Structure 1
């Protein structure tokens, strides 16, 4: 026994001697700056920086593999202290925080009740989660347990709530969340995020071209957080005042409330929130990153160009708008009638964007005053074409060029200027577009007798149903299924329009292109004929001296062809947004295009590569369309006051739609079911249960 102990002792002594000698031979002096840098850290060892602890992070900084702003647990002061040790400058680091995308909580159906596991990861691993929604929060609080900064807690619905002031973006909560309900994001990610099928998207959010978070801003408005509601809207839409007046609201058509009674008045609430800021007299501050040094040229100051400039500036880039006219705003300024979109509203909205630091150069015509070559020479790294669709095609009939025949853009631009009184005159409008209805309504307000020649049935019109109704209310004679065949001319002036009836091959299904019906020719007397059949891209502005287009064109839309995802044209570094690419379209689509273009341009100028979006939500997600629901309360939809028809006939200055008070907006907001992907709030509106106009459904299953 003694011998064994002695042998072990000698072996240990020998090993120690060898190690001591090796340490002297192989000794590497540690850079003293590592200890100094580590001393600057708060000592959280959270790993949010990507290194296994503060010591490793300090070594990375000293090696030059990381910057002084690497620590997520520390703030600007720590970054400056580290920079002082290293003798370098602190670069801007966009702050990021955790947030929860799930709103379901206890409202999501439980697949089973299992009490043996208290960890979300284990629950998901063993049973696939306990909720019927695969994207939903499981609710066991694994994110709370791993947070080293006490920045997360569970609310009464077992949903994680993040304290933005305490969150240090270490990412631990996102790492342990098995469903992706907790995510880390910053300003750039929030502004440029494109909907994914793995997001918790209510149907209204899926249908909105701009992907506005309808559910959230309605709840914020309902709770009195008007500032928060506005900022939620402005994450996707920098033109909430205009959109709140002009959007045809496709979101409302898919609202789940329609299954129970009437869809939520989303459009009305959108305008209410936007009007709140304007009526307050002060602007809500929106955050912008410091200038990045990346310069972007935007050709056209309409909705698409303005939207792109807004998003690019907010994430730090330096956009310059080159506008042909003497002012920006596109058709929102001087074309869309005042009774739909007042000029003072547009001016307020535009100033909110320009105040961010967007540079505007007016009186600049693309192809003449500014070219792609000139822009490149001036240091612009990318170009966005947002010139719109301003060209109205002439009628392809005899007499189309007679005096007294004008296009819709000319007419609307002249209203209030050279056109101030049409009493006793007969106006014929040709077309089924929203612009055609604007012409008809404006002519009616000026006292004219108006007839509209429309080549389809009403439900096939491209015009918004409400706009058609407004035109009819002012006395417009809507001649459906008719087509212009000849302009009647006398002494070079138009005196009437010849037209015929048309019909579909299958009248019941209204399919195909309506064809003329023999023997149905008739005439209309006319002092003025306004063509409003379409609006096209002006090819002169985007063609070379020989008339050859500078870009590949899209035969289907008539606009500039681009990649559907990136919006990049056939010319590298040149992008297109709005009607310059889509042809005639709605305002909210231009806003959506502006944001998508900003995303692509951001990646192009910073990385040189535009990543394909992962799992993009390109169409309505089938499982989110429910056929029945359990809803308790039926609350009547808010009714918005309107100016009387008689008053409309004599004024352009007052909007047709009035405003609603906060109490009415809040009650309408209570109709929102707070939908998730598959969940919803069956008890929505319970706080108004005692109101006499609120009914309780006798049966729970609403089909």
Structure 2
């Protein structure tokens, strides 16, 4: 019985072996020898950053054609070239990426409770949602450190992850395990074109800035002496920091949390200080650009919006060409905004920085006359960005508003120093409440004129920056608030004066609605020249086809080209519009922001054929980030910016505001920054200056 059983088992085993042997011959698939060769090129990290379970699987995918030679995140260009040689292909450009920590809160975020569990961020987030009041902040257990195969992350003393950019291989493991999104992997294209989201760690100043500049980071970099890093941080969002640092009305400062304790940080002046550092050094900080992509984009207009769009397109690898009607780039920054606000050498420095990236320019080319949408398309341009600005000043619409001596503000400012170089004894009447009106008043006063301004509202309702209004008054301009012109008085077609009348609100205390004329208040002002500075509009005549029909759908509210608020795409799919050509008269930082937003949309359009809608975009100030009470320890007075004297201004056009001269001044002002996150802030900011005689401490109630 036993013997027969053994014999049966032996025969079964022999049969099975025979079957398997036969099957192996029939089913055997010979492995491609290139798989082993490709795998031998890899460093053997098996990190999984490529998306495959290991180096062997990645090698098989390359040989099969499912993956490119440059797939390995742990390897470099040499490894990719070796693999390409095995496969008989070429290495294509792969934009480097790196992990980044967006959270600055750490231990400074308010704790809700003490967590006493497994030291793992994911476990804490799953069980309790994290122990800090900020839901997008770093939990600080170091889970990202544990999963990194390249020792590229460490935790600092505050429990925040610090990424070694040189060691990071962008495998993405840290981002995968981070439960709050505090760690993200990104490259230059993503960094330059990222639109702020509500789940980003955004300080109020960053939320308010149209260009979404990372104020918190560049101030801390400047404070630490890393001027190059600070400049590069600014230029991720703003290619014109010198001009913006001089002209921007700084909406970021009005929402600065420091205002709750004492006075907002001089963000605008610190921005200029960093930009001035580069220009004063005489050498430009190197800006990386991706290799040319072959995608050509036409940019119509070389003002702030056009320059910004071209800058971002070129940095991410595309090939923009600027078409400019005038003989020089810069738009109103060049020759219209006065020298004492924005020196010509500053504009030229910024423009040259952009041109040095490889941006091509064609000057003296007018859209509609020398080039059209059709001719640009025939020339191979895949997209067009319209940034023609708002240069047209509307007439007053009153009697004799075409008399000799009535000029628009743009023409007046353009001619200052040319045909208009001496106004001593002349009487100039400026009409308007704009920054341009104040530029006219201040320029005329410098040339010796007796200046009056008719302003149809009270001072706090003016569209002009309050500092520009103040400086116009300091030069002796007679600012007549709540007035409007009734008619221009002319003799033989030449201006002799202006009749004007007073205005008043229905409710003078609240100053709401449109002011109405007050009967019986008509008065005459003698005048040799009347300058119109009420508004600036888009010249719609330049945006019509040969039959006089509009090329684009126009925005009735702004008078500009109608475009999607997020993508800036117009009614013609491959055409985008931004800056004042889209918004009408606006501030420079909005034009810069539009240029970047358009570059993002154009990038997706020419590379993918469609433009993805951003997820959870931050379109308005996040309510939870607006704090009412704060416990700030040190009261550090805001550093005052030096200006030339009023007397000196009367006789010169040299720059009025000098900005911070010494690094120590800028560093102390930077120490006032609370390094805010979404809800957290550094209560002890500026502690290093505690012993200074001008620094005091707040008590627990927030008083000195």
State the TM-score bracket (shorter-chain normalisation).
Answer: over 0.9
Deviations 1:266-312 (A, max 9, x none): 01100000000000010000100000000000000000000000000
CA positional deviation for 1:163? 0.3
Matched residues in 2 for 1:75 and 1:433: separation? 55
Q: Secondary structure at the match of 2:81?
A: helix
1:116 aligns with 2:123: no
- Summarize the Cα distance change of 1:9–1:472 in structure 2 as closer, same or farther, 3 Å threshold: farther
Counterpart position of 2:242: 241
Q: Secondary structure at the match of 2:576?
A: strand
Q: Secondary structure at the match of 2:419?
A: coil
Q: Secondary structure at the match of 1:43?
A: coil
2:660–2:666: 8 Å Cα contact kept in structure 1?
Answer: no
Counterpart position of 1:674: 675
Matched residues in 2 for 1:89 and 1:229: separation? 37
1:76 aligns with 2:77: yes
- Summarize the Cα distance change of 1:241–1:19 in structure 2 as closer, same or farther, 3 Å threshold: same
CA positional deviation for 1:14? 4.6
Counterpart position of 1:594: 595
Counterpart position of 2:336: 335
Q: How does 1:298-337 map to 2 (within 5 A)?
A: 298-337=299-338
Matched residues in 2 for 1:13 and 1:679: separation? 75
Matched residues in 2 for 1:8 and 1:631: separation? 86
Matched residues in 2 for 1:151 and 1:74: separation? 14
Deviations 1:507-564 (A, max 9, x none): 2221111111111111111001000000000112111233221100000000000111
Q: Secondary structure at the match of 1:173?
A: helix
CA positional deviation for 1:657? 3.5
Q: Secondary structure at the match of 2:429?
A: strand
Counterpart position of 1:357: 358
- Summarize the Cα distance change of 1:34–1:625 in structure 2 as closer, same or farther, 3 Å threshold: same
CA positional deviation for 1:60? 1.1
Counterpart position of 1:551: 552
Deviations 1:359-413 (A, max 9, x none): 0000100001000000000000000000000000011101100000000000000
Counterpart position of 2:91: 90
Matched residues in 2 for 1:673 and 1:11: separation? 81
Counterpart position of 1:659: 660
Matched residues in 2 for 1:26 and 1:701: separation? 81
Deviations 1:15-43 (A, max 9, x none): 44433322211111111111111111111
CA positional deviation for 1:6? 7.6
1:298–1:385: 8 Å Cα contact kept in structure 2?
Answer: yes
Q: Secondary structure at the match of 1:366?
A: coil
Matched residues in 1 for 2:571 and 2:374: separation? 16
CA positional deviation for 1:702? 6.5
- Summarize the Cα distance change of 1:422–1:605 in structure 2 as closer, same or farther, 3 Å threshold: same
Matched residues in 2 for 1:626 and 1:17: separation? 80
Counterpart position of 2:628: 627
Q: How does 1:72-471 map to 2 (within 5 A)?
A: 72-471=73-472
- Summarize the Cα distance change of 1:630–1:406 in structure 2 as closer, same or farther, 3 Å threshold: same
1:632–1:700: 8 Å Cα contact kept in structure 2?
Answer: no
- Summarize the Cα distance change of 1:103–1:464 in structure 2 as closer, same or farther, 3 Å threshold: same
CA positional deviation for 1:660? 2.6
Q: How does 1:601-640 map to 2 (within 5 A)?
A: 601-640=602-641
Counterpart position of 1:576: 577
The two structures, once aligned, show a CA RMSD in angstroms of 1.4
Matched residues in 2 for 1:6 and 1:523: separation? 129
Matched residues in 1 for 2:27 and 2:659: separation? 83
- Summarize the Cα distance change of 1:10–1:127 in structure 2 as closer, same or farther, 3 Å threshold: farther
Unaligned runs of 5+ in 1: none
1:108–1:132: 8 Å Cα contact kept in structure 2?
Answer: yes
CA positional deviation for 1:11? 5.4
Matched residues in 1 for 2:483 and 2:10: separation? 109
- Summarize the Cα distance change of 1:642–1:6 in structure 2 as closer, same or farther, 3 Å threshold: farther
Matched residues in 2 for 1:472 and 1:395: separation? 24
CA positional deviation for 1:425? 0.8
1:259–1:702: 8 Å Cα contact kept in structure 2?
Answer: no
CA positional deviation for 1:121? 0.4
TM-score using structure 2 length: 0.98
CA positional deviation for 1:659? 3.4
1:338–1:655: 8 Å Cα contact kept in structure 2?
Answer: no
1:631–1:702: 8 Å Cα contact kept in structure 2?
Answer: no
- Comparing 56-65 and 231-240, the one that deviates more: 56-65
Q: Secondary structure at the match of 1:320?
A: strand
CA positional deviation for 1:109? 1.1
Deviations 1:225-258 (A, max 9, x none): 0000000000000000000000000000000000
Matched residues in 1 for 2:248 and 2:654: separation? 20
Q: Secondary structure at the match of 2:682?
A: coil
- Summarize the Cα distance change of 1:465–1:64 in structure 2 as closer, same or farther, 3 Å threshold: same
Matched residues in 2 for 1:428 and 1:548: separation? 37
Matched residues in 2 for 1:38 and 1:516: separation? 84
Q: Secondary structure at the match of 1:23?
A: helix
Q: Secondary structure at the match of 1:62?
A: helix
Matched residues in 1 for 2:503 and 2:584: separation? 26
Matched residues in 2 for 1:17 and 1:44: separation? 40
Q: Secondary structure at the match of 1:290?
A: coil
Matched residues in 2 for 1:637 and 1:13: separation? 93
Matched residues in 2 for 1:278 and 1:548: separation? 46
Q: Secondary structure at the match of 2:606?
A: helix
Matched residues in 2 for 1:224 and 1:471: separation? 37
1:630–1:702: 8 Å Cα contact kept in structure 2?
Answer: no
- Summarize the Cα distance change of 1:2–1:115 in structure 2 as closer, same or farther, 3 Å threshold: farther
1:332–1:341: 8 Å Cα contact kept in structure 2?
Answer: yes
- Summarize the Cα distance change of 1:343–1:8 in structure 2 as closer, same or farther, 3 Å threshold: farther
2:568–2:597: 8 Å Cα contact kept in structure 1?
Answer: yes
- Summarize the Cα distance change of 1:659–1:108 in structure 2 as closer, same or farther, 3 Å threshold: closer
Matched residues in 2 for 1:154 and 1:322: separation? 50
1:648–1:656: 8 Å Cα contact kept in structure 2?
Answer: no
CA positional deviation for 1:2? 6.3
TM-score using structure 1 length: 0.98
1:108–1:133: 8 Å Cα contact kept in structure 2?
Answer: yes
2:342–2:655: 8 Å Cα contact kept in structure 1?
Answer: no
Q: How does 1:21-100 map to 2 (within 5 A)?
A: 21-100=22-101
Matched residues in 2 for 1:259 and 1:500: separation? 42
Q: Secondary structure at the match of 1:106?
A: helix
Matched residues in 2 for 1:669 and 1:189: separation? 28
Unaligned runs of 5+ in 2: none
CA positional deviation for 1:655? 3.0
